[in-house]
A and B are shown apart, each in its own frame.
Chain A
Amino acid sequence: GESVGLHLPTLSVQEGDNSIINCAYSNSASDYFIWYKQESGKGPQFIIDIRSNMDKRQGQRVTVLLNKTVKHLSLQIAATQPGDSAVYFCAENFANDYKLSFGAGTTVTVRA
Chain B
Amino acid sequence: GAVVSQHPSWVICKSGTSVKIECRSLDFQATTMFWYRQFPKQSLMLMATSNEGSKATYEQGVEKDKFLINHASLTLSTLTVTSAHPEDSSFYICSATFDSGDSYEQYFGPGTRLTVT
Contact = CB atoms under 8 A, between A and B. Distances in A.
Interface in B66-91: 91
B69 to A, nearest CB: 15
B56 interface: no
B108 A43 contact: yes
Contact of B49 (A89, A99, A103): A99
A98 B43 CA distance: 18
Interface residues of A, number: 19
A99 B107 contact: no
Nearest to B96: A98
Contacts of A36: 108
Contact of A89 (B4, B32, B43, B46): B43
B60 to A, nearest CB: 13
Interface of B: 4, 6, 31-32, 34, 42-46, 49, 91, 93, 95, 97, 99, 104-111, 113
Interface of A: 34, 36, 41-46, 49, 89, 97-105
